[in-house]
Each structure stands twice: as C-alpha cells, then as structure tokens.
Amino acid sequence: MSTEISKSKQKRLDQEQNRKYQKAKKAMVTFWSITIPLMLILAIVAGIVVYQRSKLNYSKYLTNDGKIRDVNAADFVSLDYESISFKKADLLPSDETIDNDIAYAISSHATVSEDAALESKSGDRVQISFTATVDGERVAGITEEEGGRTFTIGNEEFTEAYDTALTGRHPGEDFTTEVLFAEDYHDESMAGKNVKIETHVIGIYVDPEFNDEFVTTYYSDKAATAAGYRQSLIDNYYKQNLEQAISDAIEEKVVVNSYPTNYMENMKKVIMAQDKAQMESYNNMYMQYTGSAVYNNVYEMYNYTSEDEYQAHVAEEAQSRTKDALTLQYIYEKAGLSNPESDVRSYFSDLGYDDASFAELQEQYGFGYLAQSVLSIKVLDYLKETINVTE
C-alpha cells in the first residue's frame, strides 16, 4: 500500500505547520532571541537558510560593534530595567520536573534483556518480532534479524487488546492472538479488520540504576555524581527560567517612542529574503519528490490570500525585530558594555568557525550583523548578573 500523501494535502499540512510556528514564535520567543542577530546564529549553525548576499546588505545600518548606526537608543526607547526583581523560588523547577528528566535519561539508556525470568507489565518497553495476517495473507511484520520492533505496553500502538496480550510475557516466549483494529487505524490493510498476530518476545528493556557510575558513564560532561547531575538539571532550568522572566519583564516595561526608518526598511528586506529562502527550500524538496513546486509565491506559504496581507506581516515583524534591536542597544549603551572585534571573532571561533569560514560569513553578512548577535548575548549575560533575585 502506498503511504504517499497528495500534494494538496501536504501543502495544507505545511501551511498549518507554518501558522503554528509563527504563533509559537510570537508567544514564546523572547526579546533577545527574536532579534535578527540570534536568528542569524541559528541559521548559521543549522546551515538551513541560504541568503542572497548579492541582493542585500545585512550590515548596511550597523556599526562594527553591532549597534544601529547613528542611533542613540535612549532617543527611541524608554526602559527601567534596573527595577526588575524576582524571587528565586519562582524560578526553580519542581521536584517532579527534575524527576521526570532523570527518568527520561535513565530510560534513554535502557538495554534489552533476554532474561526469561523477567515478566512484562504495563509501561514496559518490549522488543518483539511478529507477523500479522488477515485471512491468511501477511499484511505486516518484522523479523528478529531485521531488528524487531519495540512496543510500549499501554500506548495502544496496535490495540488495547494487543497490549493486554503482550502483558505478562517473558523473553523467548511465543504467542498468537487475534485482535480487531480500529476503523481509523493508519494502515488500511489492517484498519477495521480482525488481524492474527504471531509474536515472539525478544526481550524486555531494563533501566539502569541511577547512580554515580551511571552519570560518569553517560553524563560526565555535566557531573561526576548522581547528586551533581540532579543539580545540573536544576541549574539549567533556573538559567532558562531567569532568561524568560527577564525577557517577559523587559517586554512589559519597554516603550518604543519611534523607529529608525532606514534600519527598519532594511529589516523588511532581510525578512523577505529569509522567507524567500524558506519557500525555495520547500519547493526544492517537493521538486525532488513530486516533480513540481508547491508554492508559487511567499504569501501562499504563510496561507495569506494576497501580497498585501504578506507585506503587512513583514512590516509588523520588521517593527518587532527593530524594537528588539533598540531595546538591546539601549541596555548595552546604558550599562557601558563593549563589544570589540576580538570578542566577536572569539565568539564565532568557539562555535567552530576558523579564520577562513569566519571570513566567508563576514563577506556574506557583514561584520556588523555578526557583531550584533554577540552584542545581544552580552546584554543577556549582563542582565542575568545584575538583575535582583531574592531568596
């Protein structure tokens, strides 16, 4: 049976995914992480977005330390960030969150045991091989030589009845059961049908013990003991929560009185170049699989009905990114921070860029655009160090 979906259906799925992405980005991405600089870093590291440097100067209105040229941010922005304060307890993760993360880490390193004394129960992951037939005709299956398949009992990956049949089994055991699949089961050859399933239990996954040895074996880059690993998780959540809290507080307090027109207009060009690159990436993928492009223009990709709607979106996004850049620059200037060329080069060197690859980035984006990303990180680090957090 073919598992391909129609071009029109895939297009709708992509549009829905894109809408969700835009909604999530607006709701979740913080003021420093939606700035063009950090978006650039993500694009560079992931190697996803292909820019058109011949058509756009990304650093046109930026200085070499990453500020908007000829702009004193205090003339555009009002912000009392020094009065921001948080309670540490509000920034710490719950015990349940940490316990769940540790449980996930343990399960990620579980191994398959063929000990016949083990007995499967609800929640266990069980590795099996099986053959499924309908009226004697094979419709699905996998052999042990092919690697088998892992089932989590209780997840109803086939049916609830099959999970029940898989419960109380031992490694090495064979059994046969017949179950009725749901009408909407994704495999049409089994949907709504009575399926006979011959199963061989290869083994049951067994979790390792969470102790110092486990941590040094799998997470030595984070800690040397189980207690240390737990604390590293707490510290990481605290850092993330602090960053988010700072972002939310500044977003609430900042007031932008006006916008530098030239910078914002160039930002529109940046956004449209990024969107065009994304559309071309989608189209190239579809050309490989269907022989034709899925989008005729960028606004289609966003599920807008006209170019005017798309341009309104671009204007709103450009204003938002300009606001972020001004906010960062305001704090940078008021705090008296510096961002020399050596720091910018050092930052990208830490990301893995040697002199040659950094020169390529600089040629493509300009130094100011790269420096702005480092400026934003310096501002965030400064805020984390100076904003008041009480016990």
Q: Look at the alpha carbons of 110, 113, 118, 119 in this order and tell me if their dihedral is positive or negative.
A: positive
> Between these two residues, 126 and 5, which has the higher pLDDT value?
126
Give the least confident one: 5-19, 137-151, 256-270, 350-364: 5-19
- Quick: pLDDT tens for 308-333: 999 999 999 999 999 999 999 999 99
Model confidence, pTM:
0.74
H or E segment to which residue 202 belongs: strand 194-206
- Residue-by-residue DSSP string for 32-73: TTTSHHHHHHHHHHHT-----GGG--TTTTB-TTSPBTT--G
Give the range with max mean pLDDT: 23-27, 74-78, 292-296.
Answer: 74-78
The two counts, helices (H) then strands (E), for the chain are: 13, 10
- Quick: pLDDT tens for 122-148: 999 999 999 999 999 999 999 999 999
- Distance, in Å, from the CA atom of 276 to the CA atom of 169, rounded to the nearest integer, reads 55
Average pLDDT, the chain: 88
Structural domains of the chain, ranges and CATH numbers in brackets: 7-79+254-390 (no CATH), 111-206 (3.10.50.40)
